[in-house]
Amino acid sequence: MRFPRSLVALPVALTLGLTLAGTSAVADPPDPPGTKASPVGQDHRAEQAEEALANVEDILAGHAARRGGSSSGEDLTIALQQLRVLKDALSPADQEKARPYFLYRPGDPGDPYIPGALPLQKCSTDICVHYTETGNNAPNGSDGDAATTPPYINLVRDTMQQIHDDFLGAGYRPEKGDGSIGGGTDRTDVYIGDIGDEGIYGFCSSDDPNDPAVTSDYSVWAYCALDDDYDASEFPTNTPTENMQVTAAHEYFHAVQFAYDGYEDPWIMESTAAWVEDEMFDAVDDNRQYLGNSPLGMPFVPLDTFGDGFHYGTWIWWRYLTEKFPAKVGKLPKLVLDVWKRLDGTPSAADDYSTQGMSRVLAARNTSLKRELQLFSAANRHPRTVYSEGNAYSASPTGLTLGFNRAQRKGANYAPAHLASGTVRLNPNGLSQRDWKLRLAFDAPKPTRGGAFVVVVYKRGGGITTSIAQLNPTGGGGKTVPFSSRTVDHVDVIFVNTSARFDCWQEATPYSCFGGIPLDDGLKSAFTARSFRS
C-alpha cells in the first residue's frame, strides 16, 4: 500500500448509540458524488508528521500510555514506520530531531534506542543477535567473557531462527536482506538491550534507503530489537521466556511484512502480527489481553481502526476467519498469507490496500467481506460456541434490551460506522403459549452502501439459529421468528454496516487506504418488532 498514516486515537464519538424508534421509515441519504475529495494539503501532512515524531519520542520516553495507546513496544514499530514516511514534511529542525531514528541502529554511537555499544554477535543461518556482556544491556548469564555466550542470547537466536524457518515453511517470503549493514552478513539483525524500562517489549524498524517514489518498490528490509531479560518487574504477565517468544514472533512478522509492503495500513500490520504470535506460541495466550478493546469487546468501532490499541484486538477477526477457513501451508493458515500476497507492494505485484486485498481473498473463497462481517458480528455474541478457545472469551455487549409481555410493537434505530455493528436483544417475557411469534421489519441503507441486519434466535436449553436478513435493493425487508418464552430465550437483532468504500489517500482518519474517508458512515438503520400470536 502506498502510504501509511500516523497514530490517531479512537474518535470519542464512537459510542454505542442504539435508540428506541417508532415505525416511521428511515430515508436513505443521496449517493455521494462520484469524484474524490480534494487531497489533504501540506499543512495537514506537516501536522501528521509532527504527531508521528512526538509519538516516537513519547514511546521511547516510556510515555506511550498517556497518548491513549499501549506502552508496549509493539507500538514503536508502526510509529517508526509512519515517521519514516512522513519525515519529509517535518520542519528542518524536526527533521534533525528525527534523523537519529533512521541514521543509527541500536548500539551505534548516537543511537536513541539502546545507549551503549553492542560489540558481540551470535549468528545462525539467517539471524545475527547483537549484544554486550557488560553494563545495563547485558543479559542474564553474562560473564564478561566474549569467548562464551550467555544462554539467553542462544535462546533468542534459536527462537528467531525457528520463527524464520516456520514463516518460510508457511509460504511467506524471507525478510529482505540488508547487505553489509549491521553485522555485515546480510542476515536479519536483532539487537538486545534494556528497553523494558521504557515499557518496550521489542520493535522492528528499517534504515533501507530505497525510495519507492523512484523504484516503485514499497518493500524494505528490517532490523529488530528485543529486551535483554523480560524481567518480571517490568513485564509482570507471563514468564520472561514466554514474553520473549510472543514478542519475537510478533516483531519478526513485521520484518516479513516489510518484505511485502513496508507502507501498508497499520491496522492490518498490527492485527495480523498479534494473530500470528498466538499461532506460533498458542499456550501463552498473551493476545487475549486485547479482547476487551477489540471487535469482540467493542463491536461499534470499525474493524479497520488503528489507534488506542484496538488494532491489536483485531487479531480476533483473523482467528475467526482462519478457524472457518483452516487450510494451512506449513504451520500457519493460508488465508493470512493470501492476504499479504494481495498487499504485496513490490514492482508488478497486486499492491492492494488492506480491506481491498482482504475482500478479494474472501471472494476467492466463495464468500465476501460483507457476509463474513455479518456472521462474525453474530458469532461474537456467543463466542463459546464458535471459537476453539471461546470459553475464555466474553460475548460482545448488548446495546439495548427490549422486553415483550403481550402483543406489542417496539423498535430501535442506529447508525453504525463502517465495518461495525450493534446489537438489540429482544426478550419474550411470559409469552408462554407456543404460538407467539415476532415479526421484524427492516429499514436500512441500500445494501450497496452497507445496510445489513442479522437475526439470531437463542433457544431454551441450547441451540442457536443465525439468519442474515434478506434486504431488497433499497434496504427494506422482513422476517418472522418464533417468540414463545417456552422455547425461545431471546432474539438478537444485529445492525451491521458492511461498507468498505472509502475516499482513499486522505490522511484524515485512522482507517484503510492511508486514512481514507468512509463513504457510508452515519447512515441510519431501523427495525420494528411486533409480537403476536399466530
Lowest mean pLDDT among 88-97, 153-162, 324-333, 496-505: 88-97
Q: Nearest Cα to 532, choosing from 489, 484, 492?
A: 484
Q: Where are the domains of the chain?
A: 45-391, 398-533
In the chain, the amino acid numbered 117 is: A
On the question of pLDDT at 40 being above 90, the answer is no
Residue 496: how many other CB atoms lie within 10 Å: 29
DSSP string computed for 363-375 = HTTT--HHHHHHH
Residue 308 to residue 304: CA distance in whole angstroms: 13
Q: Nearest Cα to 513, choosing from 405, 373, 366, 355?
A: 355
On the question of pLDDT at 32 being above 50, the answer is no
Question: Grid coordinates representing 23?
Answer: 415505525
Residue-level pLDDT at 19: 67
Residue 338 to residue 344: CA distance in whole angstroms: 10
> Once rounded to an integer, what is the mean pLDDT over residues 409-421?
98
Instruction: Domain 398-533: give its CATH code.
Output: 2.60.120.380
CA 322 to chain centre: 15
Residue 127 to residue 185: CA distance in whole angstroms: 9
User: Where are the alpha helices (H) located in 202-261, listed in sequence order?
Assistant: 212-215, 240-261
Residue-level pLDDT at 6: 31
Residue 240 to residue 139: CA distance in whole angstroms: 12
User: Where are the alpha helices (H) located in 135-239, listed in sequence order?
Assistant: 151-169, 212-215
CA 394 to chain centre: 19
**Burial, 7: exposed, middle or buried (Cβ in 10 Å; 0-12, 13-18, 19+)?**
buried
Residue-level pLDDT at 12: 29
Confidence of residue 508 (pLDDT cuts 50, 70, 90): confident
> Once rounded to an integer, what is the mean pLDDT over residues 34-45?
50
> Once rounded to an integer, what is the mean pLDDT over residues 312-321?
98
Q: Which residue has the higher pLDDT, 7 or 317?
A: 317
Residue 249 to residue 202: CA distance in whole angstroms: 10
Q: Nearest Cα to 76, choosing from 291, 303, 288, 270?
A: 270
Residue with grid cell 469482540, as numbered in its chain: 296
On the question of pLDDT at 66 being above 50, the answer is no
Residue with grid cell 417496539, as numbered in its chain: 410
CB 164 within 8 A of CB 77: no
Phi, psi (5° rounding) for residue 136? -65, -25
| Stretch (H or E) spanning 444 | none
Q: On the CB side of 70, how many CA atoms lie within 13 Å of its CA?
A: 23
**Cβ-defined contacts of 366-372 (< 8 Å, 24+):** 369/498, 369/500, 370/447, 370/450, 370/452, 370/498, 371/468, 372/320, 372/321, 372/324
CB 404 within 8 A of CB 410: yes
On the question of pLDDT at 278 being above 70, the answer is yes
Residue 99: how many other CB atoms lie within 10 Å: 14
Residue-level pLDDT at 27: 36
CB 459 within 8 A of CB 466: no
The angle at the Cα of 249, spanning 244 to 251, to the nearest 5 degrees, equals: 90
Residue 534 to residue 295: CA distance in whole angstroms: 38
Residue 23: DSSP 8-state: S
- Between helices 266-280 and 74-86, what is the axis angle to 10°? 150
Can you point out the beta strands (E) in 175-287?
188-193, 202-205, 223-227
For the stretch 429-449, pLDDT in tens is 999 999 999 999 999 999 999
